[in-house]
Structure 1
Amino acid sequence: MLKTLYKGFILSYLLITISCTTNQNSSDLIQAIDNRQTDKALRIIDQLDNLNEQDSLGLSPMHWAAKRALPQITKALIKKGCNLNITDVHGYTPLNYAIKADNAEIINLMLKNQAVVYKNGLSNLSDGPFVDWTEKGLYAYYLKHDSISSKSFLLGKFINQNTRYFKGWNGDTTTYTITDNKIPAWEFKTQEPIFVLGDIHGQYDRMVKNLQAHGVIDKHLKWSWGKGHLVFVGDIFDRGNKVTEALWLIYKLEQEADKTGGKVHMSFGNHELMVLNKDNRYIANDYKNLCNNLGLEYNTLFHSNSVLGEWLRSKNSMTKINDILFVHGGISQKQIDSGMSTQEINELVRQYLISGSSPKNQDKLNQILKSFGPFWYRGYFMDRSQYKKITEQELISILEALKVSRVVVGHTENDELSALYNGKVIDVNIPLAEDSIPNQALLIKYGKFFRLTEDGNKTLLN
């Protein structure tokens, strides 16, 4: 009898002790996180079942882990099933606190585990897919804001690493095939037609209409240019709100063209360099709103281990087809005087976008990346504070040094695709954001140069 009573006493004592310890540890957990005592917090997390208790301000342990920027504790809380979208007394989720703490690791961790933030007053927004190479495989995701629920969030999933093939979701019906990346050649000889487009700047719909109007792609957006060449002279990025769609289409057409003996060439423009170097000043407002809501920097969507980011960083700064050089801005005499070859510039810029500059290449990169360089130069069209407009004789000297007869450029806008300096320079940059200006493209065929318009007009250039 006494033994039974003693056992009952011990059991009751243990239950009371466990109950008290649980209540105490809930407060202790928040205190440990607040004091950044990681080991103590992790021990308490292992012991607790309810990890969603909130303090007087409505802050849960997950809020505190985000506030104190503690990724190890955040991971442990997520693993135990802690509510990522619990709100405090002001309506803020843990992700809001992670964004304010500016901790990219926690932000990405939360987003990939269905965290949301609430934002009123925005229309429906969506962008993607973005695809990352990760240790666990290929991870694809969209950024989204739903105006009805006022939520911004990420929709992501892993895709089949073996097939590298997936169908879009989130209202996206496109099929995507991921291929191994390779550095393209920069010199080509061909008798096939060459179709050239200027700066796209996110104007995907007008780009598609132009390609379809002239038979480069069909109504299903498939390559129909045979063995022909398609050239983009840079600036796919910025200003417009369909940059991602444009990049994926070029990525796909590149694969399809290779299968038929054709080629797609995409050179860097100054806006590619800006975005890949964390300069997000000119991105469209939709992108700014989505990224700001989710605590993301737009350029990080194209990091070097993302599919599009790796692909972009493989591209050339200049491409030569037959005796024509395709470059975004132009080649100045100062660039020629630097003694750098086209191939060296292509290699230096690629390396710069992967690893940055070093004392060994800093001087050369300064020459390439500034106003006299191939991405920013406007000397074929106007005086600038750094230089005067070039003369035809000076241009002839540059072309001779490059061993080409013509240069095709974008960068500087013109309402009409035109040839200058007796056909030695052709400017293909038509401002696509201006609907009143007709779509135009350059066709090079049988050694002749034509301005094409969407309505079917074909004009021989000088």
Structure 2
Amino acid sequence: MDDQQITCKNLPNLVSSFIDTFIDYTVAGIFLPGSPSPPFTQTFYPPPDRLVAVGDLHGDLVKSKQALRLAGLIDSNDTWSGGSTTLVQVGDVLDRGGQELKILYFLEKLKRQAVKSGGNVITMNGNHEIMNMDGDFCCTFPSGLDEFRRWAHWFCVGNDMKRLCDGLEKPKDIYDGIPLSFEGVKQEYVEGFRARIAALRPQGPIATRFLSKNVTVLVVGESVFVHGGILAEHVDYGLEKINNDVRDWILGLKDKISSDLVRSSSSLLWLRKFSNTTAEECDCSLLEHALATIPGARRLVMGHSIQKDGINGVCDGKAIRVDVGISKGCINGLPEVLEINGKSGLRILTSKPMYDSNRRDFIPEQHRPQEVHVAA
């Protein structure tokens, strides 16, 4: 507590902080060090010396850590070792796995550690984040329901403890307005459904604490990041306005968010015009038009659509697809990450053995690449 003295005046807040720390460790096994990451969303960043992009993680903490280790961003103790690197995670932490909360907590820990080294960790919204905030759990695994059920149990225990402490505002019931049963949902899953709704709905504790810090569109130097894709009409709407609108909706400051931005097939989070597996099916002219409306933009980096053959670029390197389906709930793909730096351009750091991303075939062991260059 540094030199802060315990007094009757500040004791309630210290008790509250202790309870929150206890809950964090019970739920995720993590003590969150230092100050919280900034609550605001920033849309534009200058180019860092090193920029790393990681695709969809979908509830698989083990594979998430493997990807970050591959990029040299965490050490054997799962501590930030990326120095001044900027990491961008392009969304879809939620669904298809049972360690979604643990990943959210882990990324928050890395955000706080990275900033102390001059680095940065930027997290983004994917379509599955919005689906969950909308109460759409069609891609949620039973293990994911169970993880949120355990979180809700301890969170409510913490709230009960806070209610006993004079001087603290009495916490609200997180289940307020949530039904006790759901048509078509087995009784064994009801508690998990209720916990997930309570945590992830707009103004919910997990949505507010973690998802409100996500961006929906991001520009770092010459690279534009988005989960699905971007159109000129999105740029016309205003990139900062998009991020502010989504953040304010998550925080409960706006009643709704436009489906054209986050829900429709042509939205930033669902668009697949530039991520089709067959390069010939990508609408390169549409992408070039969108990039031309963003000053200095050279390429779009996106997730959302699994690339079974690994990270790749199409449209003369203007569209880079980084979702390789690493989660066991997807295709259990081997981790790959995209590295962008001023000295060597774009590289794919891959853990695939005997694989040449340029030739698309297997090669002799003595020629296994540790990195593969892609068109800038």
TM-score by length of 1: 0.59
The question of whether the paired residues in 2 share the 8 Å contact of 1:164 and 1:179 is answered with no
Counterparts of residues 102-141 of structure 1 (less than 5 Å)? none
- Residue 424 (structure 1) aligned to one of 318, 339, 342: 318
- Residue 309 (structure 1) aligned to one of 197, 208, 227: 208
C-alpha deviation, 1:137, in angstroms: 7.2
Correspondence for 1:174: 30
Which has the larger displacement, 293-302 or 269-278? 293-302
SS of equivalent to 1:239: coil
Correspondence for 2:334: 438
Partner letter of residue 17 of structure 2?
A: Q
Correspondence for 1:78: none
Q: Structure 1's 340 and 167: CA in aligned 2 closer, same or farther, altered over 3 A?
A: closer
Correspondence for 2:299: 406
The question of whether the paired residues in 1 share the 8 Å contact of 2:41 and 2:244 is answered with no
Q: Structure 1's 159 and 214: CA in aligned 2 closer, same or farther, altered over 3 A?
A: farther
Residue segments in structure 2 that go unaligned for 5+ positions in a row: 1-10, 150-188, 353-368
Correspondence for 1:298: 196
SS of equivalent to 1:402: coil
- Pair 1:329-2:225 in alignment: no
Partner letter of residue 418 of structure 1?
A: N
Partner letter of residue 355 of structure 1?
A: G
- Pair 1:459-2:353 in alignment: no
The question of whether the paired residues in 2 share the 8 Å contact of 1:166 and 1:177 is answered with no
C-alpha deviation, 1:355, in angstroms: 2.7
C-alpha deviation, 1:176, in angstroms: 3.1
Relative contact order: is structure 1 or structure 2 higher (C-alpha 8 Å, sep ≥ 6)? 2
C-alpha deviation, 1:258, in angstroms: 0.9
Q: Structure 1's 356 and 373: CA in aligned 2 closer, same or farther, altered over 3 A?
A: farther
C-alpha deviation, 1:256, in angstroms: 0.6
Counterparts of residues 50-89 of structure 1 (less than 5 Å)? none
**Could you say what the CA RMSD is over the residues aligned between the two structures, in angstroms?**
3.0
The question of whether the paired residues in 2 share the 8 Å contact of 1:164 and 1:178 is answered with no
Partner letter of residue 318 of structure 2?
A: K
C-alpha deviation, 1:175, in angstroms: 2.3
- Residue 248 (structure 1) aligned to one of 105, 126, 134: 105
Q: Structure 1's 159 and 223: CA in aligned 2 closer, same or farther, altered over 3 A?
A: farther
C-alpha deviation, 1:357, in angstroms: 5.4
CA deviation string 1:219-239 (max 9, x = no partner): 111111111101100000000
Q: Which has the larger radius of gyration?
A: 1
C-alpha deviation, 1:437, in angstroms: 3.1
CA distance in 1, matches of 2:103, 2:15: 22
C-alpha deviation, 1:353, in angstroms: 2.1
CA deviation string 1:400-450 (max 9, x = no partner): 112211010000110210011010010000111266632111011226111
Correspondence for 1:281: 138
C-alpha deviation, 1:307, in angstroms: 5.4
Q: Which has the higher strand share?
A: 1
The question of whether the paired residues in 1 share the 8 Å contact of 2:48 and 2:86 is answered with no
- Residue 80 (structure 2) aligned to one of 177, 200, 223: 223
Q: Structure 1's 373 and 189: CA in aligned 2 closer, same or farther, altered over 3 A?
A: same
Q: Structure 1's 167 and 271: CA in aligned 2 closer, same or farther, altered over 3 A?
A: closer
Q: How many residues align?
A: 298
The question of whether the paired residues in 1 share the 8 Å contact of 2:276 and 2:305 is answered with no
CA distance in 2, matches of 1:171, 1:396: 45
C-alpha deviation, 1:306, in angstroms: 1.9
SS of equivalent to 2:75: coil
The question of whether the paired residues in 1 share the 8 Å contact of 2:291 and 2:298 is answered with yes
The question of whether the paired residues in 2 share the 8 Å contact of 1:159 and 1:165 is answered with no
SS of equivalent to 1:343: helix
CA deviation string 1:206-229 (max 9, x = no partner): 110121233100111111111110
CA distance in 1, matches of 2:145, 2:21: 29
Which has the larger displacement, 433-442 or 251-260? 433-442
Correspondence for 2:347: 450
TM-score by length of 2: 0.71
Q: Structure 1's 389 and 373: CA in aligned 2 closer, same or farther, altered over 3 A?
A: farther
CA distance in 1, matches of 2:248, 2:370: 42
CA distance in 1, matches of 2:25, 2:283: 53
C-alpha deviation, 1:161, in angstroms: 2.0
The question of whether the paired residues in 2 share the 8 Å contact of 1:159 and 1:166 is answered with no
The question of whether the paired residues in 1 share the 8 Å contact of 2:91 and 2:123 is answered with yes
Which has the larger displacement, 399-408 or 428-437? 428-437
Counterparts of residues 30-41 of structure 1 (less than 5 Å)? none
Partner letter of residue 95 of structure 2?
A: D
Q: Structure 1's 273 and 179: CA in aligned 2 closer, same or farther, altered over 3 A?
A: farther
Partner letter of residue 41 of structure 2?
A: P
Q: Structure 1's 319 and 171: CA in aligned 2 closer, same or farther, altered over 3 A?
A: closer
The question of whether the paired residues in 2 share the 8 Å contact of 1:183 and 1:314 is answered with yes
